[in-house]
Amino acid sequence: MQTRAEDDESIAATARAFPEAEQVSPDIRRPRPPQLRDVARAADVSISVASRALNRDPNLRARETTIERVFAAARELQYRANAAGRSLRTRAVGAIGVILPDVNNPFFSELLSGIEEGCDENDVMPLFGRAERLNDNPHLLRNLVNEGRADGFLIQPTDVFPAAAFRTLAVDRVSSVFLNSHSVDAQSSVVLDDRAGIALATRHLLDLGHRRVGFVGGLPDNDNASLRREAFEATMAAMGLTVERRWVTDRGFAFADGQRALGEMVDAGELPSALVVATHNAALGVLRESLTRGIDIPTSLSVVSLHDSPAAAYSWPALTSVRMPLRELGRRAVSTLLQVMDDGIPRHEFITDPAPHLVMRESTRERGLSRLHTPRRD
Write the pLDDT tens digit of every residue in 297-339: 999 999 999 999 888 999 999 999 999 999 999 999 999 999 8
Range in 55-59, 72-76, 186-190, 293-297 with the lowest mean pLDDT: 55-59
The 10 Å CB-count burial string (b at 16+, else e) for 89-125 is bbbbbbbbbbbbbeeeeebbebbbebbbebbeebebe
Range in 56-60, 142-146, 161-165, 223-227 with the lowest mean pLDDT: 161-165
Range in 125-129, 236-240, 253-257, 331-335 with the lowest mean pLDDT: 125-129
Q: What angle do CA 176, 179, 183 make, to 5 degrees?
A: 85
Report the share of the chain in percent with pLDDT over 70.
77
Interval 19-42 mean pLDDT: 60
**pLDDT at residue 370 above 50?**
no
In the chain the first and final C-alpha atoms are separated, in Å, by: 72
pLDDT band at 6 (very low <50, low <70, confident <90, very high): very low
Q: Which residues contact 206 (CB under 8 A, 6 or more apart)?
A: 213, 235, 239, 241
Structure-model confidence comparison of residues 238 and 9, the more confident one: 238
Looking at every residue in the chain, the average pLDDT score rounds to 82
Half-sphere exposure of 334 (CA within 13 A, CB side): 30
